[in-house]
Structure 1
């Protein structure tokens, strides 16, 4: 599992928890969780139903933007595509940060600045969700942990089973380790996101913004190095 996969899992937990505590229970990464909250809001057990509804088209817009960027960058390789997606998510998170600061104090879930803030967060995490689908990676999903926890439990059962061959257990053990890393990083990110929001409010989003800029630059640099190696003439035999 590449180090950036664990970092992305931490970013997802961080942003999702920050948006949840800051924006009346809005999920930005685990966007389908908003269905439950919309149902609760309709029944009078919450607030912000309009913002949660608007998170869906914003999330879809983030996915659509990702697809368009990958199609543009595809001739230049996977690293170029990844760099563009990291950069797009970083810019959307920066906009999320600044819009949140501008909307403070956040006291009304239905105000337009607060709704716009939530939509920018959902669009940013739509890009990250699409990233794992559009760029071939060897890791595990890094935005929603329900499937990862399920897989980890199934793998743990197989590892203690006497009916599984030794070579098969090796592959299961490798996957189990990757899955646990992603879940742990997501959890650490979730705790950090809540604590950071408590202390510095929406300015806390500058941390994942900076991390994504670093990932974009690293992917671009790696792509350039790969292109240079491919352009070198074959060594004489």
Structure 2
């Protein structure tokens, strides 16, 4: 039975690296869509939002207000998602599949709002704010999923940290001048590979999003929606990851 379920999950097994890679792909994909379509707004990467906010306060005040909406929404939504996860965990009902499905549904709502209200011509238009809030709800949920259910993987929105850990793994696993125990070398190499895979997936998502946004507009959001739904459908309903 266990073998059959493992076979069913395949690459979508949350314990395997491709799970984190696909979520990293989706995170950068959505952020690039938001940067291109929502006045240089990040909804998955708070650091980016803070950097842009600090510049736009002095150059584009209206755009800066939109970044404040992102930060407020991200904070409030993350509190709500954490509360939901805690309650589900306490009730023994915490599962990955419903959360991935919920993220996909929220991203689909983001796409529909952006399409129906388009073109989005002003950062403080109600349609723009609605699109930003909905996208932030989805990506804050993904951050909570990674933190609470898939924390054994490399982070999917923290590429600075991933790069630092990749470099540390390269040094410890291949470039160290002092001898190390074989198991330590193996572990360092595995960590380096894990972080490299997530970084490459993140960059791939960004490149594909840029291409998709140029040619399809907000319809390009269908790709991460499909990825999340496929991942959700492949999960074992009776087991939580971890």
Class of the TM-score when normalised by the shorter of the 2 chains? 0.7 to 0.9
Matches within 5 A, 1:67-86: 67-74=82-89, 75-76=91-92, 78=94, 80=95, 82-86=96-100
Q: Could you say which residue in structure 2 is the equivalent of 1:209?
A: 225
CA distance in 1, matches of 2:184, 2:56: 47
Q: Could you say which residue in structure 1 is the equivalent of 2:212?
A: 196
CA distance in 1, matches of 2:25, 2:133: 21
1:43 maps to 2:58: yes
Query: What is the deviation of 1:193?
Result: 0.7
| DSSP 3-state at the match of 1:68 | helix
Q: Could you say which residue in structure 2 is the equivalent of 1:104?
A: 118
1:180 maps to 2:203: no
State the TM-score, normalizing by the size of structure 2.
Answer: 0.85
Unaligned runs of 5+ in 1: 228-237
Distance 1:164 1:29, change over 3 A: farther
CA distance in 2, matches of 1:39, 1:70: 32
Query: What is the deviation of 1:207?
Result: 1.3
Q: Could you say which residue in structure 2 is the equivalent of 1:34?
A: 49
The answer to whether the 8 Å contact 1:96/1:120 transfers is yes
CA distance in 1, matches of 2:162, 2:179: 21
| DSSP 3-state at the match of 1:32 | helix
CA distance in 2, matches of 1:136, 1:42: 36
The answer to whether the 8 Å contact 1:40/1:46 transfers is no
CA distance in 2, matches of 1:157, 1:214: 37
Q: Could you say which residue in structure 1 is the equivalent of 2:161?
A: 147
| DSSP 3-state at the match of 2:214 | helix
CA distance in 2, matches of 1:179, 1:16: 20
CA distance in 2, matches of 1:63, 1:218: 26
CA distance in 2, matches of 1:109, 1:45: 10
| DSSP 3-state at the match of 2:204 | helix
CA distance in 2, matches of 1:152, 1:128: 22
Q: Could you say which residue in structure 1 is the equivalent of 2:3?
A: none
CA distance in 2, matches of 1:209, 1:7: 11
Q: Cα RMSD between the aligned structures?
A: 1.9
1:167 maps to 2:183: yes
Query: What is the deviation of 1:142?
Result: 1.0
Distance 1:84 1:67, change over 3 A: farther
Number of positions where the alignment pairs a residue of Structure 1 with one of Structure 2: 222
State the TM-score, normalizing by the size of structure 1.
Answer: 0.86
The answer to whether the 8 Å contact 2:17/2:194 transfers is no
Matches within 5 A, 1:45-64: 48-64=63-79
> Pick from 110, 113, 118: which aligns with 2:127?
113
| DSSP 3-state at the match of 1:48 | helix
The answer to whether the 8 Å contact 2:168/2:192 transfers is no
